[in-house]
Chains A and B, each alone.
Chain A
Amino acid sequence: MDYLQTTKVDKVTLKDRFNPSFENNGTLHLTATHLIFINPAVNPELWLSYSHIATVEKQQISIKGAPLKIVCKDFRVLNFVFYKERDCQDVYVSLQNLTKPVNYAELHAFTYEPPGSKWPRSDGWNIFEFEAEMTRLEVPSDLWRKTDINKDYKLCPTYPEVLYVPATATEETLTGSASFRSRGRLPVLTYYHKYNKTALCRSSQPLTGMRGRSVDDEQLLQAVIQSNPKSPVMYIVDTRPKINAMANKAAGKGYENLDNYPNVLYRFRGIQNIHVMRESLQKLSEVIENPALNAGEFFDSLDSSSWLKHIRSVIDTSRFIALAMLMDNASVLCHCSDGWDRTAQTCALASLFLDPYYRTIKGYQILIEKDWLAFGHKFNCRCGLLRRENREVSPVFTQFIDCTWQIMQQFPFAFEFNEQFLLTIHDHVYSCQFGNFLGNCQQDRRKESLSEKTYSLWGYMCKQLATYLNPYYDPNFNADKRGIIIPLINPQCIRFWSGMYNRHAFAHSKSETIEDRATRIYADNKKLEKEISAISEEIALLENKSAEGQVNGSICENPEDEDENSNLQLNHDLKTMDSSTTEIDVQQATEIVDSNTLSEFEQLAVQDSISDGNEVKNTEMTKDVNYTISDEA
């Protein structure tokens, strides 16, 4: 609380860049975790978590007041104007203090309690287990084995404790290889494509510049080749441009000398390093913030930011890896410099292309757990969660999310989740509301016992799964090709994602999208289906009862009772008639759920919207009938 110079400021204006005439005047509150702006006329209120704030900047004072510009990590830009300069200064200083915490304990995750209905803290913390995932991938134990050589993170501090390596590789080989690789990140298995027994391995660069060669490392790679009965060769995909790899060699690191690695095909792929990516995003942000551009200038600035070029290079490299495993039946070792940025992007994306499981909600979370969290992507540094030097910050994970979105655009039926799912993950990587992405590696997270002190994002997300469902999802998409998707990489297919970068600019004026509407229909159908099955159950129950009633009635001689009985019979007839119509509706509804192409879906949606009215009427009618029956019963 010492950080707060002020907690409430009146007479603040929030300006809209794209709609300058819109006057949004209200009150600004600073709490321990959030900045809140309330204008009684505007709904909803603006809540901004401090950890989302990237920069705060005071600008030239004008007659209108003292402006303060806040740029957020989710690409929102807020321009406040304060009536009093003093207030502006106070807010500025407070935000400076609040937005760059030094210790973990200051992060929102350690104080966050979910509002409303609570759930156990452990929810979502246990969705991923390395062994379970490898079992799911059906990694054959005669070719690949589990090793606990990294127990207590002794061999490689930034790797998980459990590793999978070729069955023929000895512990000495592994230790030797680790000492030859930058930060001990030796080649290990990350994805296994069971259909053609090819493996995707990852590592960091070898220390060729310093140590020349390592027989152990060479043996390990030969063991990788031997573990693949289908091909006598393997690929090493060096995601860096060749010139970067050579520069690294001068620094004692570098790339494998092929003279020592027989049967290895080497490919440099040209993804730029974290610094280039950071600058690219910086330039992209300038494009996003500038409302004055015309269409031509917009494309020119987009071009000069190179952002789409970088996105394309990441997808291109991942596609290369996938095709090498698929078409050449070759195992692939992928590395960059440290093997935790570009390697994480490309390994995860290649797996996403090859395995439809990773395109489900659960699967995508597993993918992030495996290739990003377990293998030590430095979220803490890359996302600037704690006060650190800026040089380490880079939008590597943002690019991964962007790439996923690009693939979703090309294959709208192949994903169980929607855009909102990606945005939510991206937001919460930065929000620090959940413990998942704190720290730089698994060891860090264990040390801080995050799973006991904080909530998991996965637990939170699983409480509102319905908002993340893609209404077009077809679980059997491309089933004849084992669900494999190979995206196009023509520059025309790589698009600017305004849903991410311009998300907040037009939120208020957005029209309902087809997805929104499809989602609505989908949800309505689900609800109706449920209602139908509940009613059918009730009907079945009452049918039994009324059958009993008839038996009783036949014994009864009372004429009044008989009257009641015939009444019951009539109702019963009516009801069976209705239950047959409801059955058709169920069928129709399930058809909609099962439909697998957009056009089919759309057609059915039409039918549905036409039949919607009838359906509701039908269920209402059955309800009425039920009422009369249950009254009598």
Chain B
Amino acid sequence: MEFMDIIKTPQVENVTFTMVGERKSVSGTLCLTSHQLIFFDKENKKDELWIFISSIDSLEKKITDSSLVVNIRCKNFRNIQLTIGDITKASDAFESIEKLVKINEIDKHHAFYYNPNFAITEDGWKSFNLETEYARLTAGSRDFRVLEVNKGFKICSSYPERCLVPSSVNENIICKSAKFRYLGRFPIVSYIYHAKKAVLMRSSQPLSGPNELRCKEDEKLLNAAIFGPKHCYIVDTRLTNYATNIKNKGGGVEPSCYYPQWHRIHRGIENYNSLKDSLTKLVEATSDFDCSSSAWLSRVSSSNWLNHVRSILNTACFVIGYLFDEGATVLVHGSDGMDATLQITSLAQIMIDQDCRTIRGFQALIEREWLLGGHPFSSRCSKLCNTQDISTSPVFLLFLDCVWQLQQQHPCFFEFNEEFLRVLGHKAYSSEFGTFLYDSHAQRLQAQLPKRTCSLWSYINQATVINDYINPSYEMRKQIIRPSTVPHCIVCMKIYLCHYNVYEWSSHG
């Protein structure tokens, strides 16, 4: 279907535009294009506003006597209201917007039609080099090596082709281990804490099933990563019950008899499915400005969002405890190893490694852990909330929230500011850049994104742009940082409250 067929009315006059929460209205003209709604005030051109179709989370219409009201909820937590006088034209416009929003094919995505309006001085698709990144992680150690074991993405479709593994294992071991792991996500080295020779690894669940099958190669692979003390930890992000139940579906846990050196710990991080409801409730709470104090507090509480934040941070603290305090090797996994697992491993690195707290280092972390680690961005971020789609979940947003909490508690340890996190959050959900498109590195390569789209990093790393994301209080410090997870230290991230920035002189009485 071509865009032109969808857009029935490219232009609607006499539209009143209201940013809900700011209590300010402007009237003007609304234009529909294939990827944007453009709103402008003909007389004084300064009030031009662009809304990407891809940033619309949901919309609904209400017909009143004299007009049609369109409520648009955006993925950046803004709510916008359009009041259109001409009802026939308005219905046409509404229908067109609705159809545009529903287009799901990634091929039709905005990013493929975007022409950067800035000169690309540094190609973001090339700013991250996996080899140098691996070299930085291994720091010259011969105990680890990079193996091109996943050539053609044959053994794991969501891993990169070249993986970092302990030197003592060969391709055969890895292939066998991959068969024993869900989606072929075999244990891979995520971070090395050189001071104590402790390794942070991640994988998906083993396919031990109800009969507690074993895979000797998998055991070998894990044991090859033990350099320090002989006791190690498997941090399973799921509750014991859940992990046991899943055995009947072929999944499960590492049977302790076959992994005698590994101590398994279960952490009750809720499945990614429940996050969406939490966020929906939280957004509802934050967008109701006239509620009572009590309603606000009880809604925040019942959304359970802050408990998610807390349990993620707590688990990351556990990992830090093993890795940093005990010097023990840790394996983290949940079911797929591409949601909670990535949250934990990347947070642990932020706490322990000062490089990850710089702007470039954080980008590299996202590339390495999230984009190459196979977090399915397109599926998870197709909508913010208010959707039935079960693969949608604000996993990445929750991770950014956790980073923000760390930042709040240790403000001088981060080179980037809150705005940087906010922009990453928004761009993951809707963007003119190709960086967060598709569900895996393999898909991105296949779609030839570097040729066809512009990278988010090309934009962010421009000298003029990056300035806005620098935290002036930053001092490079090597210390490890740990968050406090006592409830009063976990606060509601400000981006959910973005519509409160306005200075308001409303009437009273």
Contact = CB atoms under 8 A, between A and B. Distances in A.
Given A294-B307, A323-B508, A327-B507, A491 B296 contact: yes
Interface in B282-321: 285-286, 289-298, 300-302, 304, 306-307, 309-310
A490 B410 CA distance: 28
A492 B298 contact: no
A513 interface: yes
Interface in B308-344: 309-310
A112 interface: no
A71 interface: no
Interface stretch (A138-146, A502-510, A573-581): A502-510
Contact of B473 (A302, A303, A306, A518): A518
Given A295-B490, A298-B487, A491-B296, A303 B508 contact: no
A335 interface: no
B301 A303 contact: yes
Interface string B478-497: 00010010111111100001
Contacts of B507: 327
For the complex, would chain A's binding face be called helix, strand, loop or mixed by DSSP majority? Answer: helix
Interface in A291-311: 291, 293-300, 302-303, 306, 308-309
B472 A486 contact: no
Nearest to B501: A488
A492 B497 contact: yes
A299 B486 contact: no
B29 interface: no
Given A297-B487, A496-B488, A502-B488, A309 B301 contact: no
Given A295-B310, A308-B297, A514-B411, A491 B505 contact: no
A511 B487 contact: no
Contact of A300 (B297, B492, B503, B504): B297
B487 A294 contact: yes
Given A511-B409, A609-B472, A293 B294 contact: no
Nearest to B298: A303
Contacts of B475: 517
A298 B487 CA distance: 6
Interface string A75-101: 000000000000000000000000000
B500 interface: yes
A606 B488 contact: no
A511 B309 contact: no
Given A492-B497, A511-B409, A605 B295 contact: no
Contacts of B310: 294-295
A584 interface: no
Contacts of A306: 293-294
A155 to B, nearest CB: 34
Given A491-B295, A511-B412, A517-B475, 15 more contacts: A295-B490, A296-B304, A297-B301, A306-B294, A308-B297, A327-B505, A486-B505, A490-B500, A491-B291, A491-B293, A492-B289, A502-B488, A506-B486, A514-B412, A606-B472
Interface of B: 285-286, 289-298, 300-302, 304, 306-307, 309-310, 409-413, 467, 470-473, 475, 481, 484, 486-492, 497, 500, 503-505, 507-508
7 contacts: A299-B298, A300-B298, A312-B293, A492-B296, A517-B473, A517-B475, A605-B472
Interface of A: 18, 288, 291, 293-300, 302-303, 306, 308-309, 312, 319-320, 323-324, 327, 486, 488, 490-496, 498, 501-502, 505-506, 509, 511-514, 517-518, 601-603, 605-606, 609
- When A and B form their complex, which 7 residue pairs have the shortest distance between CB atoms, in order from nearest? A298-B487, A299-B301, A295-B306, A491-B296, A303-B297, A602-B472, A309-B293
